[in-house]
Amino acid sequence: MKNWKKHLFNFYFGILTVAVMGLMMLVMIQVITRYFFGISPIWMEETISYLLVFTGLIGSSFAFYENRHVALVFLHDKVSPRKKAMLQIFVDICVICFALLVQVVGGLLLVDQTKDRLSMGTQYPLIYINMLVPISGAITIVLLLIAIKDKLPALKKEG
C-alpha cells in the first residue's frame, strides 16, 4: 500500500523537478541573451510563463497534501486531536470541491473553448497548455483523497 504512494509521489516530484530545472535554465539563458545581446526571444518568455504556472499549480497540490498551505489556525490550535482531524478533513473536502468545480470542470470548459487556438509566441496549441489546469485539479483531488485516508485513523482516537 505504501509502495504505490511512494511511486506516485516520486513520479510527481520527478515531473516537478524537471519543470523547475527547465524553468531555471531558461531564465538563466534569457538573462544572458538579454544582457549580452540585447534580445529576448518571445518564445522563451512564453515558455517560462507556462512552466511557472505549471510548477505553481502542481506545487500547490503538494502544499495542500502536506498541510503547508496558508491557513488560519486560531481554531485548529484550540481543539482536541480528534476535532483537529475532523477540521482538516473538512478543509480537504472543501478544497476537493473547489478543485473539482473550478480546476477540473472549469479547466475542461477552458480547454474546449481554446482547442483550435495557438499561443502567440510559441505557436503551441493552447489545448496542451490549458490542460494543465484540469490535470493539476485531478492531482490535487488524488493527493487530498490520500491525505483524508491518512487522517481517518485520528478520528477513532478519543480526545
Q: What is the pLDDT of residue 144?
A: 92
- Rounded to an integer, what distance in angstroms lies between the CA atom of residue 140 and that of residue 64? 8
- Rounded to an integer, what distance in angstroms lies between the CA atom of residue 79 and that of residue 74? 10
Spans of the chain, pLDDT less than 50: none
